[in-house]
Structure 1
Amino acid sequence: MRWLGLAALLAAVPAAAQLSSSEQRMKTTVDAEQGRTLGLLERMVNQNSGSQNPAGVEKVAAMVRAELEPLGFRVRWIPLPQTGRAGHLTATHSGKRGTKRLLLIGHLDTVFEPDSPFQRWVREGDKGFGPGASDNKGGVAVMIASLRAMHAAGTLKPANVTVFLTGDEEDPGSPQRVARADLIAAGKEADAALDFEGLAQEGGRDMGSVARRSVNDWTLTIRARGAHSSGVFSAGSGFGANYELARIIDAFRREVAEPSLTFNVGLIAGGTKAQLDAGGIRAEATGKTNIIAADAVARGDLRALSQEQIDRAKAKMKAIVAQSLGGVTEARIEFEDGYPPMAPSAGNRALLDRLNVVNRDLGLSLMAPLDPLKRGAGDISFVAADVDGLVGLGPSSTGDHTPAERVDIPSMWRQATRAAILMSRLSRERR
């Protein structure tokens, strides 16, 4: 697949480019259906769908099914009880043969579980507060609004579109190979992937996202000889587990860093005894000031822009752990699979170029690529190795993942119009 560069694309469009009649119809439909779209968003927000609330996730999926089936989508629920999560909703619209196949990605779950005090939609002017108001129920509402606009304009009928909404994006089920197998398979069948998570902004300007970093967790475990503290630093007693842990973590900071790579230390414990709970989110330690620490543990994450960068970082971290202060009996680091990276490929940048042609035709400012350090990991990364992708077609917001989460309502109409026109144009192209 070859994409034209932005300069060539813009040069091919008249300076005063106008929307086609069908594109103008899409814009008009998005605006006319604002009340309907906000009503859907309110209903979804008011239904709790924390990642660990399978019944709630399925109820939100039912709301989405009711929107997609009348548009001609064949909707399927993929239950995944073996992963400890609800499952995924996928919907397929078959159009003209031989044209590009689009994959639209979002998620049904939120970080707010049923015991959270943050449960209801509240509107204050142009802002809407609520769990998932933006992440990602706002994005799902934008996706549906754009598809309804395409349907009204007649551009959905010939389009080949697959919608894939995961039920565990915020807290993925395990094993990961099962939890993401269907999404990966959908990516292999697509020609372009569009992610409806939130729109990034800088200085009040909308930004395009062509990359997302990975996230992998790591656990560091140290075992050392426990002894009376009077012998610390000696050949017989050594330095203990806490000094070894401090050496390793500080060496990570000094020796592993490179551009676009970060590694956080989120949890530390050390003492005569130190251990993590089964979920790895709590630690318990006991000890005294006059006893050399025998146990130490730490957990953190690693975020990178490419698999090559991940491999380099892991190799450096393992080498640092393999060095040792005196008295250490065991030091090991273990890595857990997480979200893979979405590298900033030429194909991804070309999709942003196509979106910028839409922006120009709508009279909107062009969108520069967002620094991937300013965006977290997401589900589109699981298909990034197989298909070109673009992130951030959902609404803009603030306070995501906190009780202050609020969606910028006017951005929903801008985003739905952009998406509808972009998808209509892409779906007409030959594969």
Structure 2
Amino acid sequence: MLTKTALLLLSYCLIPAIAVAEVSIEKKLVNQINNQLDESQDLLEKLVNINSGTLNFAGVKQVGQVLSGKFDSIGFTTEWVEGNGFGRAGHLVASYDSVINPHAPKILMIGHLDTVFAEDDDFQNISVVGKNRLAGPGITDMKGGDVIIFAALQALHNLGLLEQLNIKVVMTGDEESSGRPLEKSKKALVDAAIWADVALGFEDADGDVNTAVTARRGSVGWTLTASGKAAHSSQIFSDAVGYGAIFELARILNGFREQLSNTPLLSFNPGLIAGGTRLSDKGSSTMESFGKRNVVAQTAIVKGGLRAVSPEQLVNTQSAMQQIVVQHLALTNATLSFDEGYPPMQQTQGNVNLLAMYSKVSVDLGYKPVTAVNPRNAGAADISFAADHVAMAIDGLGLMGTGGHTKDEVADMTTFAQNIHKTAILLYRLSLANNQVQKH
């Protein structure tokens, strides 16, 4: 059902022409962004050259300190949320309250400070790799998005337009490897989303500047453990010995494939497996096993991931997987457990309407229309923890490029100014909508 909020925003999106005064202001915003572009790129280079692998707490905090100073300079109140309670460096929260507009929309802007590149990685610095192409650790995922957030807000501030908005910026320090428990590690983000009307995420999504994310699949881990009766292999399949742990594991995995692999927008992947007479689980990514060809396997473990497009799909899939697990082969047993994970960002009419508004901004600026990313091509992200709490949300507004999470991570710098322009104009237009975008 279309809510009043969604209908009002949709009507705003479909206005055929922007008032002349608004066009003039928007041109000034674009000029302001262009004039400060060298400063924005300098900030990007500075941030990329600070290693902030998730477990490099000092580096994550240093990136947060640099950005905190920037937000302080344009009138934000900043806070560092310590991560001691969830085993990570912490998060940066920057807030700005409108003093002139009691009906100003409340907008949450989401970034993250950490990257996948560890402190001792040899991929450490930004470099020029071609015309309008810069390589660097985390340049697109997502220090480029962080700078786009700040640069858009800086331009609004410099033209006296920031006063028409209520803004919270949350830049997490553990997006690439979430702290635990999630209830604590995502609390700052969820609290900001509960406060907000609109959520904007600045990941690079599928790397296409002409797309944005209106839906993301959730992601949870799972562990399947099977056991059997150890015996000489000559007795396998007998009434006294049964099938052993590895055959039980194989039965279950094949059952998952047969029953669930054709479910639209669902994926599940067994990424790590081990089995034998003895097995030692070393953590999320390492297991050691001992076994012999002539001994029936006593134990086997597989670890995998599950991605679903809605809470209902997730629950139904988990139930179906458990039903497959309990149909044990003779003299075997198995258990399936699920970890904490990222919830889905569901497709909503509010998200669709916000994308329409963003696309219109793009077209009005002379760029191409922006369409929705296929949820299958959008991995889990922090906005998933916020989306259910706001009237509308989109993601993928950051710096575009290729090779994310690899040493070939390269930014397309032609998208840098473009997405700062689009962000600033979108925020300005949201400020004109006033209570039309409020969820309460």
Give the shorter-chain TM-score range: over 0.9
**Whole-angstrom CA distance in 1 between matches of 2:259 and 2:104:** 49
2:29–2:425: 8 Å Cα contact kept in structure 1? Answer: yes
**Whole-angstrom CA distance in 2 between matches of 1:93 and 1:238:** 66
Task: Give the corresponding residue for 1:115.
Answer: 120
Relative to structure 1, the CA distance from residue 201 to residue 86 in structure 2 (aligned partners, 3 Å threshold; closer, same or farther) is closer
Query: In the TM superposition, what is the alpha-carbon distance from 1:16 to its structure 2 partner?
Result: 11
Task: Give the corresponding residue for 2:70.
Answer: 67
Task: Give the corresponding residue for 1:309.
Answer: 313
2:107–2:199: 8 Å Cα contact kept in structure 1? Answer: yes
Query: In the TM superposition, what is the alpha-carbon distance from 1:236 to its structure 2 partner?
Result: 1.2
Query: In the TM superposition, what is the alpha-carbon distance from 1:237 to its structure 2 partner?
Result: 1.0
Task: Give the corresponding residue for 1:206.
Answer: 210
Task: Give the corresponding residue for 1:270.
Answer: 275
2:142–2:399: 8 Å Cα contact kept in structure 1? Answer: no
Relative to structure 1, the CA distance from residue 317 to residue 8 in structure 2 (aligned partners, 3 Å threshold; closer, same or farther) is same
Q: Does the alignment pair 1:139 with 2:145?
A: yes
Output the amino acid matched with 1:325: L
Q: Does the alignment pair 1:165 with 2:171?
A: yes
Output the amino acid matched with 1:239: Y
Relative to structure 1, the CA distance from residue 266 to residue 177 in structure 2 (aligned partners, 3 Å threshold; closer, same or farther) is same
Secondary structure of 1:407's aligned partner: strand
TM-score by length of 1: 0.96
Match of 1:290 among 290, 294, 309: 294
Query: In the TM superposition, what is the alpha-carbon distance from 1:231 to its structure 2 partner?
Result: 0.9
Match of 2:88 among 78, 82, 85: 85
Match of 2:34 among 28, 31, 34: 31
**Whole-angstrom CA distance in 1 between matches of 2:21 and 2:351:** 26
**Whole-angstrom CA distance in 2 between matches of 1:65 and 1:313:** 42
User: 1:334-392: CA deviations, max 9, x gaps?
Assistant: 10011111011111111101112212211222112110100100001111111121001
Q: How does 1:182-201 map to 2 (within 5 A)?
A: 182-201=188-207
2:13–2:357: 8 Å Cα contact kept in structure 1? Answer: no
Secondary structure of 1:200's aligned partner: coil
**Whole-angstrom CA distance in 2 between matches of 1:29 and 1:415:** 14
**Whole-angstrom CA distance in 1 between matches of 2:189 and 2:52:** 20
Relative to structure 1, the CA distance from residue 10 to residue 164 in structure 2 (aligned partners, 3 Å threshold; closer, same or farther) is closer
Match of 1:129 among 106, 131, 135: 135
Query: In the TM superposition, what is the alpha-carbon distance from 1:9 to its structure 2 partner?
Result: 5.0
Task: Give the corresponding residue for 1:425.
Answer: 429
Output the amino acid matched with 2:85: Q
Relative to structure 1, the CA distance from residue 369 to residue 5 in structure 2 (aligned partners, 3 Å threshold; closer, same or farther) is farther
Total equivalences in the alignment: 427
Secondary structure of 1:136's aligned partner: helix
User: 1:400-428: CA deviations, max 9, x gaps?
Assistant: 00000111111010000000000111123
Q: Does the alignment pair 1:253 with 2:251?
A: no
Query: In the TM superposition, what is the alpha-carbon distance from 1:230 to its structure 2 partner?
Result: 0.6
Query: In the TM superposition, what is the alpha-carbon distance from 1:225 to its structure 2 partner?
Result: 0.3
Task: Give the corresponding residue for 1:48.
Answer: 51
Query: In the TM superposition, what is the alpha-carbon distance from 1:184 to its structure 2 partner?
Result: 0.6
Relative to structure 1, the CA distance from residue 199 to residue 245 in structure 2 (aligned partners, 3 Å threshold; closer, same or farther) is closer
Output the amino acid matched with 2:28: R
**Whole-angstrom CA distance in 1 between matches of 2:248 and 2:77:** 57
Query: In the TM superposition, what is the alpha-carbon distance from 1:3 to its structure 2 partner?
Result: 2.5
Secondary structure of 2:5's aligned partner: coil
Task: Give the corresponding residue for 2:107.
Answer: 102
2:274–2:302: 8 Å Cα contact kept in structure 1? Answer: yes
Query: In the TM superposition, what is the alpha-carbon distance from 1:323 to its structure 2 partner?
Result: 0.6
Match of 1:3 among 6, 11, 15: 6
Q: Does the alignment pair 1:381 with 2:384?
A: yes
Relative to structure 1, the CA distance from residue 374 to residue 227 in structure 2 (aligned partners, 3 Å threshold; closer, same or farther) is same
Q: Does the alignment pair 1:280 with 2:296?
A: no
Match of 2:186 among 158, 180, 191: 180
Match of 1:358 among 358, 361, 371: 361
Structure 2, unmatched stretches of 5+, are none
**Whole-angstrom CA distance in 1 between matches of 2:102 and 2:351:** 24
1:9–1:357: 8 Å Cα contact kept in structure 2? Answer: no
Relative to structure 1, the CA distance from residue 123 to residue 321 in structure 2 (aligned partners, 3 Å threshold; closer, same or farther) is same
Structure 1, unmatched stretches of 5+, are none
**Whole-angstrom CA distance in 1 between matches of 2:10 and 2:86:** 46
Match of 2:409 among 391, 400, 405: 405
